[in-house]
């Protein structure tokens, strides 16, 4: 089978699995909420991989935009108006604005310096949420709100009580997001990002404005992370400062590396493994991260292309 046909078959199987997930999750010991978490965290991991895998820039601060999106939708629903749609839009906008400001300040940094400064800015947002008790709820989190039905004009979509309906809303937004991401990566801009990843000095020599491209990629990546944050908050009807902490950014990086850092779908596979392992192992021990850490080390040592790389090798 040719590589093109293999990719088409893989995409068909993947989307069939995602479309039918709520109907077979219970048969394997899962539940719809777990499937929704896989999609949401998969989108967050793919947003990090957009920057890391396709641009070659490592950010350990993407939880900041994930968390800003989460707080944005929560505050709109609690303090402003019970509109899920407006909450999602505001959450994504807040994350995008924050990323544009932070990105403009750090875009000239590279390597470990870039990664460390993203942690510093992320922790700044974390401590604001942690200390601003009167607005964010502090360590107790922002509660007292819930996702509301979406009014389409001619009908309402009840996502407030029906877990399956909310799953398919998340799946729709996930599909739109990955479609946009794929179009960007296949565009001349996306090819330029790959050139920067492979050899930044040569790209600069060819006249490519490297800093501008990295800044745009950083903001695009943060937009997808913010969208994932809004969906995660709506899933739980709750948000707390841990959604802004740098350790969550580390989890996103782990998901991307475990699944396959330079592959498009690898981070989704990594997120599925991470979420399912966390859910299963944490039911037996609080030290679930120890086992995920061992799995991560084994993947990095023996399968540097990730789980998706193993699958592709078997199929080839």
- The parent domain of residue 59 ranges over 32-246
Question: Is 13 within a domain?
Answer: no
Question: Is 49 within a domain?
Answer: yes
In order of 63, 75, 114, 145, 272, the CA distances from 59 in angstroms are 10, 26, 7, 31, 21
Q: Report the chain's mean pLDDT, rounded to a whole number.
A: 90
Q: What is the pLDDT of residue 315?
A: 61
DSSP state of 15: H
Question: Is 57 within a domain?
Answer: yes
**Model confidence at 91, in pLDDT bands (50, 70, 90)?**
very high
Question: Is 36 within a domain?
Answer: yes
Average pLDDT over residues 279-295: 83
How many domains does the structure of the chain reveal? Answer: 1
- Whole-angstrom distance, CA of residue 148 vs CA of residue 162: 11
- Whole-angstrom distance, CA of residue 200 vs CA of residue 114: 15
In the chain, what percentage of residues exceed pLDDT 70?
Answer: 98
pLDDT, tens digit (0-9, with 9 covering 90-100), for 3-57: 677 778 888 989 999 999 988 888 777 888 999 999 999 999 999 999 999 999 9
Whether 269 has a pLDDT exceeding 60, the answer reads yes
DSSP state of 77: I
| End-to-end CA, the chain | 8
- In this structure, the dihedral spanned by the alpha carbons of residues 240, 69, 224 and 213, taken in order and rounded to 10 degrees, is -110
Question: Is 286 within a domain?
Answer: no
Whether 232 has a pLDDT exceeding 80, the answer reads yes
Whether 1 has a pLDDT exceeding 60, the answer reads no
Whether 208 has a pLDDT exceeding 60, the answer reads yes
Question: Is 283 within a domain?
Answer: no
Question: Distance from CA of residue 120 to its chain's centroid?
Answer: 20
Question: Is 254 within a domain?
Answer: no
Q: Which two tokens stand for residue 236?
A: 């739980």
pLDDT, tens digit (0-9, with 9 covering 90-100), for 158-183: 888 778 899 999 999 999 999 999 99
pTM value surpassing 0.85: yes
Question: Is 160 within a domain?
Answer: yes
């Amino acid at each position: 089978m040719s590589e093109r046909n293999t990719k088409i078959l893989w995409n068909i199987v993947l989307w069939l699995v995602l479309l039918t997930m709520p109907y077979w999750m219970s048969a394997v010991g899962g539940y719809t909420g777990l499937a929704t978490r896989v999609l949401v965290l998969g989108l967050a991991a793919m947003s990090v991989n957009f920057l890391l895998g396709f641009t070659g820039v490592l950010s350990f601060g993407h939880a900041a935009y994930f968390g800003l999106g989460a707080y944005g939708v929560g505050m709109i629903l609690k303090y402003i108006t019970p509109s899920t749609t407006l909450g999602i839009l505001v959450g994504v906008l807040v994350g995008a604005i924050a990323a544009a400001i932070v990105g403009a300040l750090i875009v000239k940094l590279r390597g470990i310096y870039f990664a460390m400064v993203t942690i510093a800015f992320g922790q700044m947002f974390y401590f604001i949420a942690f200390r601003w008790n009167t607005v964010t709820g502090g360590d107790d989190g922002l509660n007292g709100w819930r996702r509301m039905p979406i009014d389409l004009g001619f009908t309402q979509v009840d996502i407030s009580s029906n877990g399956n309906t909310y799953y398919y809303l998340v799946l729709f937004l996930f599909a739109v997001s990955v479609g946009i991401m794929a179009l960007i990566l296949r565009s001349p801009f996306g090819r330029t990002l790959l050139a920067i990843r492979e050899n930044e000095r040569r790209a600069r020599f060819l006249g490519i404005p490297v800093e501008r491209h990295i800044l745009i990629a950083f903001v695009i990546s943060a937009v997808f992370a913010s969208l994932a944050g809004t969906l995660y908050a709506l899933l739980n009807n709750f948000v707390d400062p841990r959604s802004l902490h740098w350790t969550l950014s580390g989890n996103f990086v782990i998901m991307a590396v475990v699944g396959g850092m330079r592959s498009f779908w690898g981070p989704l596979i990594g997120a599925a493994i991470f979420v399912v392992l966390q859910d299963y192992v944490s039911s037996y021990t609080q030290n679930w991260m120890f086992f995920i850490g061992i799995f991560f080390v084994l993947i990095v040592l023996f399968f540097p292309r990730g789980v998706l790389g193993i699958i592709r090798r078997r199929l080839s």
